Amino acid sequence: MRKIRVAPFMPTEVDVNEISENRAEIIAYPFESGYAVTLAHPLRRLILGSSIGYAPISVKIEGAAHEFDNIRGMHEDVAVFIINLKNIRFKIKDESDKVELKYSFSGHKEVTAQDLNSDQIEILNGDLPLATLNEDAELNFTVVISKGIGYVPSEDLRDDVAPDSIALDAFFTPVRKANYKIEPVLVEDNPNFEKITFDIETDAQIGPVEAFTNALEVMNKQLSVFNGVLDVDISATPVKRNGNEAELKPFMQTVDTLGLSARSFNSLDRAGIKFLGELVLMSENEIKNIKNLGKKSFDEINECISEHGFGSDYELLETTRSGLMKKIEQLQA
């Protein structure tokens, strides 16, 4: 006999089954019927679409004007060389947003991915072939590796690469597979409950559990936009919640008055960030992902935010957050 309830059943069990270094199952249960797919489907999309990885975004090959050219003494056409290069999985060691690497090979040689290892990057699939050179061959090229998420076609990268370089389709996603299955599970003789089993495999740029937890973090942040609804008194007359001007004043310092280095300021300026409050509203990951912002600049900006009293331990009230966002939108309009 079905009982009347006033809240959905809360799942209580979660298990992690590490199948290998780059593959894991994450199992959660019991969910009420229909709840499992409601959560599993968007999580799968976030695992695939929001996991940060690294990929080559451009290459400059000495003696090659375009991707349909060829290099004297190299068995592969430039187009095949580029396909091989894009299949290599890189990882920037110091977690910088971008690095430029120069390579030179000559004479008879089978060049493989492991030959690209350096102090700046790590190659995760070193056995892949890159090029086959004859005795009189000389191969000199420069490749730019960048951090990113998802897939970015070469057409969207042409403005970001040097004019004499070839822009590459960038497949950043480090997740090879993210599947889930939903199975029935018994709870107190009731068969109408479900279990989710995620099966996640990565290319070793990140681990499968890290990919899953990153997706959870992204989901929570995306849903936080609705937190302001919790503060609204629906019985009251609707009012505009712009925040107190005096309360918002400390946040409205312009970034050019914060004493940042030229490199850090220029990165923020190019990203269109004008006020300290914009940085306070951003998470550490969002600041890290500002285009062309290196680790030193990130550390400097974080230190600056802390010096102004808005460090990681600072809790921004939702009413203040809402008012600050509206104020910045007004000033940028």
- Say what the pLDDT of residue 327 is: 81
User: Rounded to 5 degrees, what are φ and ψ at 220?
Assistant: -60, -40
Task: Sort strands 13-20 and 23-32 into parallel, antiparallel or unpaired.
Answer: antiparallel
pLDDT of residue 238: 43
Query: Domain span at residue 123?
Result: 52-171
Q: Is residue 189 part of a domain?
A: yes
Q: Would residue 238 count as lying in a domain?
A: yes
Structural domain contains residue 2: no
Number of domains in the chain: 3
In a domain, 7, yes or no: no
Residue 169 backbone dihedrals phi, psi, to 5 degrees: -60, 130
CA distance 263 to 296: 10
Q: For residue 268, what is the domain's CATH number?
A: 1.10.150.20
148 HSE (CA, 13 A, CB side): 19
193 and 60 share a domain?
no
pLDDT tens digits for the chain (333 residues)? 566 777 888 899 999 999 999 999 999 999 999 999 999 999 999 999 999 999 999 999 999 988 899 999 999 999 999 999 999 999 999 878 999 999 999 999 999 999 999 999 999 999 999 999 999 999 999 999 999 999 999 999 888 888 889 999 999 999 999 999 999 999 888 888 999 999 999 999 999 999 999 999 999 888 887 877 765 555 544 444 444 666 777 888 888 888 888 888 888 888 889 888 888 888 888 888 888 888 888 888 888 888 888 876 677 777 777 888 888 887 776
Residues 40 and 182 in one domain: yes
Does 210 share its domain with 281? no
Q: Is residue 8 part of a domain?
A: no
- Pairing type for strands 170-171 and 151-152 reads antiparallel
Domain with residue 180: its CATH number is 3.30.1360.10
